[in-house]
Chain A
Amino acid sequence: MTQTHELKFESPSFAKRIKGMLGVDFYRLFHTPMYYIFLAIAAIIPAMILSMTGMPGPDGTVTQPLYTNTWNIVAANTPLYIIGEIGEYANMNMVFIFGGIMVSIFIGHDYHSGYVKQLFTTHAKKRDYMLSKSLTGAFSMACMCVTYLIGGVAAGMISGTSFEVNIGSLLIAIVSKIIMSLGWASLYTFLNVIFRRYFGISVASSFFLGTGIPIIGAAAILGNSSILNIFLYGSSVYACLSSNILTLPVCAAVSVAWAVIYNLLGSLVLSRCDVY
């Protein structure tokens, strides 16, 4: 039997396209072990920091625990732009570093397998790709923040550190950091689109920017300036245990603004360059 092919070409709406693209990304995310491994890594990190820094060393001397308050594993007491004690940077912001590696692997697989060609052969537009990867990455990092929090609380309970905190500021800090995931995921998506042919450089650049070294460097010159909040790392640091209600809109505005900028830039790069 011969099928007759109607030559009707209905342009799929943006909603339909993005639904399809997000559907693919989430299907892949939930069907690959990588996502669950990174969730587990996020849960283990705070436990390791809290428990191992207080353990006796090989010579029997017990080191001072890094934190005496469990919630310092989530955020610093005040915004720490200038580097003092390196340990003070060990908080939920580390999720963004590991999240960067995860996004790099996720997007790297798209190019390495050639799947991206399948995507772009069909109705998928370059901006849909950027947006979908950013949202999927943001979701993954938000989930990592949650498992990080669970791991931190569990470790705090086991190690017996204090749970004393201003609950409102803590909640604002946690929600703000989760909101920052969108901006970070967009940055990593953009970096991976730029270095799509070089997986190693993609991972390295994500790691480098994820650590916030450029902002820490800038802070060394500018000092403890709130102007640094306009950057992703600055806002992520701004979300701390002394946060107030203003922290939330600042983080949301910064995260969304950078997400828009990186998405536009990434779409521009993709539309002007060959897909390899």
Chain B
Amino acid sequence: MNAIEIRGLSKSFRGLYAVDNLNMTVPVGAIYGFIGENGSGKSTTEKLICGHLVPDKGKIKLFGKSYKDAGVRARIGALIENTGCFPNSSVWDNLMMQAINLGLTDRAGEIDRVLHIVRMEDNAKLKFKKCSLGMKQRIGIALALLGDPALLILDEPINGLDAEGMKMMREILVDITRQYGCTVLISSHILGELEKIATHYGIIRQGRMIQELSAQDLEGRAKVFTSLKTQNMTDTFELLRQKFSDVRTEDGYIRVYDVDDTEGIVEYLLKNGLSVSEIQKNKIGLEEYYIELMSRKEA
């Protein structure tokens, strides 16, 4: 069974399609990294899943049931765009209102639990409007975690945070995804962070899903490359291009793609009078994979 199954989903605003015939599959228990540039349709898709927007066409199923099913919806937690808290109410009151809405029995205990997860135990009495951006994001996550959600939808939870806030948010996300075992859909621009926790990825562009793959798929598809430095980078680059098909210069290094035989490269360069000062075997990460995929699509 899939946690989210979307088929042929479309949503337009004044004739412009924000989501265009989108298909998406998120397996149960997955931590699904939802990737795309600004305006690609990530937030619109998430809002459609949460029932905030009415789709033009298409089907959304959550855990095999209609996304409108109250039983399923009772176990969804979401943080999309803003936290949806009343600014003049305290953090505690905002959480209490959601706990009442969900019909939780041990409300105080449940609020304490989620405040502990997001490291906000000491700020429960604070008015929401007095909270910093990082705190507001954490409160949003706390709200989403109330009532044992089976599916968490987090839209850019790290965006706009300072270094300290990002570090804390990263720790919280790791805690949630590793310890609380629910299916998570996270969209984020910070792909390096996403790569550390995601088990599946969906790459969206102009409202269409252009690729879905698991972390293992990415591992398999990710190119291996050797990066190196020599005293004469220009000659080395030309020489390597004669022998290997994919040679590029990036970040002050020469990269030879799809070749992990470092000894062979060193030997080849030495034979041609070039000594290697630095050499390393690498694999491209999610960020580079994404950029490459996007540039291929653009071409």
Binding site for B on A (CB under 8 A): 1-5, 7, 9-12, 16-17, 19-21, 23-24, 27-28, 31-32, 109, 113-125, 271-275
User: B1, B97, B181: which contacts A28 (Cβ < 8 A)?
Assistant: B97
Q: With a CB–CB cut-off of 8 A, which chain B residues contact A9?
A: 63, 65, 69, 71-72, 74-75, 150
Cβ-defined contact, A2 with B179, below 8 A: yes
Q: Mark B63-98, 1 if CB is under 8 A from A, else 0.
A: 101000111111111101111111111000100111
Query: Measured between C-beta atoms, what is the minimum distance from A177 to chain B in Å?
Result: 31
* Chain A-chain B contacts (Cβ-Cβ < 8 Å), number: 121
| Contact segment of B48-56, B165-173, B262-270 | B48-56
Cβ-defined contact, B84 with A273, below 8 A: no
Q: With a CB–CB cut-off of 8 A, which chain B residues contact A32?
A: 86, 88-89
Q: With a CB–CB cut-off of 8 A, which chain A residues contact B75?
A: 9
B8 proximal to A (CB < 8 A): no
Task: Give the complex CA separation of A231 and B78 in angstroms.
Answer: 42
Cβ-defined contact, A125 with B97, below 8 A: no
Cβ-defined contact, A120 with B51, below 8 A: yes
Query: Measured between C-beta atoms, what is the minimum distance from B92 to chain A in Å?
Result: 10
B126 proximal to A (CB < 8 A): no
B148 proximal to A (CB < 8 A): yes
Q: With a CB–CB cut-off of 8 A, which chain A residues contact B239?
A: none
Cβ-defined contact, B65 with A28, below 8 A: no
Q: With a CB–CB cut-off of 8 A, which chain B residues contact A117?
A: 50, 52, 78, 80, 84
Task: Give the complex CA separation of A271 and B101 in angstroms.
Answer: 19
Q: With a CB–CB cut-off of 8 A, which chain A residues contact B244?
A: none
Cβ-defined contact, A2 with B181, below 8 A: yes
Q: With a CB–CB cut-off of 8 A, which chain A residues contact B50?
A: 117, 120-121
Beyond A2-B178, A121-B78, whether A24 also contacts B100 by CB under 8 A is: yes
User: A5, A17, A31, A273: which contacts B89 (Cβ < 8 A)?
Assistant: A31
Q: With a CB–CB cut-off of 8 A, which chain B residues contact A5?
A: 148, 150, 180-182
Cβ-defined contact, B179 with A1, below 8 A: yes
Cβ-defined contact, A27 with B103, below 8 A: no
Beyond A5-B182, A7-B63, A123-B71, whether A275 also contacts B97 by CB under 8 A is: no
Query: Measured between C-beta atoms, what is the minimum distance from B45 to chain A in Å?
Result: 14
Q: With a CB–CB cut-off of 8 A, which chain A residues contact B150?
A: 5, 7, 9
Cβ-defined contact, B143 with A12, below 8 A: no
B102 proximal to A (CB < 8 A): yes
- Smallest CB-CB A-B distances: 3 pairs: A9-B71, A11-B71, A114-B84
Interface of B is mostly: loop
Shortest Cβ distance from A34 into B: residue: B88
Shortest Cβ distance from A270 into B: residue: B54
Cβ-defined contact, B84 with A3, below 8 A: no
Cβ-defined contact, B74 with A21, below 8 A: no
Q: With a CB–CB cut-off of 8 A, which chain A residues contact B102?
A: 20, 122-123
Query: Measured between C-beta atoms, what is the minimum distance from A96 to chain B in Å?
Result: 26
Q: With a CB–CB cut-off of 8 A, which chain A residues contact B143?
A: 118
Beyond A117-B50, A117-B52, A120-B50, whether A27 also contacts B71 by CB under 8 A is: no
Task: Give the complex CA separation of A116 and B83 in angstroms.
Answer: 11
Interface contacts beyond A32-B89, A122-B74: sample of 14 additional A-B pairs, CB < 8 Å, sorted by A: A5-B148, A7-B1, A9-B65, A9-B71, A10-B71, A11-B69, A20-B101, A24-B101, A31-B93, A32-B88, A115-B86, A117-B78, A117-B84, A272-B54
Task: Give the complex CA separation of A116 and B52 in angstroms.
Answer: 9
Q: Identify which of A7, A119, A125, A271 gathers the most chain B CB atoms within 10 Å of its CB.
A: A7
Q: With a CB–CB cut-off of 8 A, which chain B residues contact A124?
A: 73, 101
User: A11, A114, A120: which contacts B82 (Cβ < 8 A)?
Assistant: A114
Query: Measured between C-beta atoms, what is the minimum distance from B184 to chain A in Å?
Result: 11
Task: Give the complex CA separation of A124 and B71 in angstroms.
Answer: 10
Cβ-defined contact, B86 with A122, below 8 A: no
Shortest Cβ distance from A271 into B: residue: B54
Shortest Cβ distance from A115 into B: residue: B84
Cβ-defined contact, A23 with B80, below 8 A: no
Cβ-defined contact, B72 with A3, below 8 A: no
Query: Measured between C-beta atoms, what is the minimum distance from B149 to chain A in Å?
Result: 8
Query: Measured between C-beta atoms, what is the minimum distance from B189 to chain A in Å?
Result: 21
User: A4, A118, A275: which contacts B53 (Cβ < 8 A)?
Assistant: A275
User: B28, B81, B89: which contacts A114 (Cβ < 8 A)?
Assistant: B81
**B17-71 at interface with A (beta carbon < 8 Å):** 28, 50-54, 63, 65, 69-71
Query: Measured between C-beta atoms, what is the minimum distance from A267 to chain B in Å?
Result: 13
User: A24, A113, A116, A121: which contacts B73 (Cβ < 8 A)?
Assistant: A121
Beyond A120-B50, A274-B53, whether A19 also contacts B103 by CB under 8 A is: yes
Query: Measured between C-beta atoms, what is the minimum distance from B297 to chain A in Å?
Result: 29
Q: With a CB–CB cut-off of 8 A, which chain A residues contact B85?
A: 113-115
Cβ-defined contact, A3 with B179, below 8 A: yes
User: A2, A7, A17, A113: which contacts B70 (Cβ < 8 A)?
Assistant: A17
Q: With a CB–CB cut-off of 8 A, which chain A residues contact B72?
A: 9
Can you spell out 13 A-B residue pairs with CB atoms less than 8 angstroms apart?
A: A9-B75, A11-B70, A12-B71, A20-B103, A27-B97, A32-B86, A32-B88, A114-B81, A117-B80, A118-B78, A121-B73, A122-B102, A124-B73
